[in-house]
Structure 1
Amino acid sequence: MSLRVALLLALVLSPAPALARQVTWTFDNLQSIGKLRPQVVGDPKVEDSTVGKAVVFDGVDDALYLGRHPLAGAAQFTVEATFRPDGGAFEQRWLHLASDDPANQTRMLFEIRVVGDSWYLDSFVKGKGYSQVLIDPKKLHPVGRWYHVAQTFDGKTYRSYVDGVLECEATLENFSPQMPGNASVGVRYNRVNYFHGAVRTARFTDRALKPGAFKLLRRK
């Protein structure tokens, strides 16, 4: 058998790489998000916007809870979201994924810090043996606009992005896949640090996507 034939056979017979698993949540109603029925806290509204219908949170007592951690079991990940921060309190947590294992309470999250009419991103991941925050107070963005944000982990490096542009990165050691759990949107899971603004979408992928594969904003 020639080397060329052997190589062709190897290509034909080798298993195809597994497709990335993706989950998308679209916040255009309060009855069903990603085939999940949300628990509604306070009085969030669904409003039209320049990027489509979105859920608006008042920064006081509005929140949604969803009974799933979409990245449970993932050794790599990408979390993307489209959101509009509208100012308000300095510290606001608006997407929180949490395990429900009391012995190993893991979390992935997005927060913002508001400074006057601007904000900066806070991305964070934590579990047994690892904890990493990505934050740079010098990278300010105006409030009142729609943004795409992302955080990725490729098995070695943890990164955050705003509108496809790298914000921060750090080596993340000892990461292990997170356990099944739940999510809160518009607030920290224990109902503090409420978010003032709107959320349109969140997309979760069990691979580390490059910015060219992000689902960036499409404004009307």
Structure 2
Amino acid sequence: MIGALPGCATVSGSPTTETTVWTFDRLTDIGGHATTVEGEPVLIDTPLGKAVKFDGVDDALFIDNHPLAGAEMFTFEAVFRPDGGAFEQRWFHLQEAEEISAAQGQPPGTRFLFEIRVEKDEWWLDAFIKGPGYNQVLIYPEKRHPIGQWFHVAQTYDGTTYRSYVDGVLQGEAAVAFKPQGAGRASVGCRINRVNFFNGAVREARFTPEALTPERFTRLI
């Protein structure tokens, strides 16, 4: 199974870096943070352990934490299983609080997103970041993957370049003048404004204030 600790844990990413782990083996207190359940997401047994299953209609979790707030570099990883459904699914959203954006004189919507696009029995990744002075999407429809299987996805930023990966394989990259985001919250199963719901399951997410290379990503065993 995935090398993860139940609930929330902090594990060594390097001698100076810590990785925060959220394990979706529950519907409350994800990562030790207040969690609101909407719709009827359910816990399921999988070869990787417990996971949360979303129906693609109205299931979602809202978590009172932005785990990459303040990070100048980052790795955002997730282990999930897309099960088909609607073409556009925004399934993991980290959002800076609107009052923080307003206080900094910037428009709301500073965020990280994992999305997918689905066509028949295939999907492809859409990774996205937006903030003051940057607005970057990494989406490559030619790099498709089968639905109904477990995958590891990641997005990283090393101080100059933003990259996305599926199972450790680079999907694409772009130069970005990233600036750290402020405190906020997260949604899983839909975009934070309750649109583009996800049909599938989520097992784990990891957040590291460093750009990890693929050999240091979570592994599916």
Provide TM-score, normalisation by structure 2. 0.89
Q: Which residue of 1 aligns with 2:44?
A: 47
| Matched residue type, 1:40 | V
Q: Does 1:206 align with 2:209?
A: yes
- Report matched runs for 1:114-133 at 5 Å: 114-133=118-137
What is the distance in 1 between the residues matched to 2:192 and 2:71?
A: 21
What is the distance in 1 between the residues matched to 2:153 and 2:21?
A: 14
Q: What SS is found at the alignment partner of 1:34?
A: helix
Q: What is the CA distance between 1:18 and its match in structure 2?
A: 6.5
Q: What is the CA distance between 1:119 and its match in structure 2?
A: 0.2
Q: How many residues align?
A: 201
Q: 1:216/1:18 Cα in 2 relative to 1: closer, same or farther (>3 Å)?
A: closer
What is the distance in 2 between the residues matched to 1:209 and 1:36?
A: 25
What is the distance in 2 between the residues matched to 1:189 and 1:55?
A: 17
1:186 to 186, 189, 201: 189
Q: Which residue of 1 aligns with 2:86?
A: 89
Q: What is the CA distance between 1:31 and its match in structure 2?
A: 2.0
Q: Which residue of 1 aligns with 2:72?
A: 75
Structure with larger Rg: 1
Q: What SS is found at the alignment partner of 2:215?
A: helix
Q: Which runs of 4+ in 1 moved over 3 A?
A: none
What is the distance in 2 between the residues matched to 1:189 and 1:94?
A: 9
1:168 to 172, 191, 203: 172
5+ long unaligned stretches in structure 1? 1-16
5+ long unaligned stretches in structure 2? 1-13
Q: What is the CA distance between 1:161 and its match in structure 2?
A: 0.4
1:108 to 112, 119, 126: 112
| Matched residue type, 2:153 | V
2:220 to 207, 210, 217: 217
Hey, which of these two has a bigger chunk of strand by percent? 2
- String of CA shifts for 1:43-83, please: whole Å, max 9, x gaps: 00000011110000000000000000000000000000000
Q: Which residue of 1 aligns with 2:140?
A: 136
Q: What is the CA distance between 1:122 and its match in structure 2?
A: 0.1
Q: Does 1:156 align with 2:157?
A: no
Identity percentage of aligned residues: 60
Q: Which residue of 1 aligns with 2:6?
A: none
**RMSD across aligned positions (CA):** 1.1
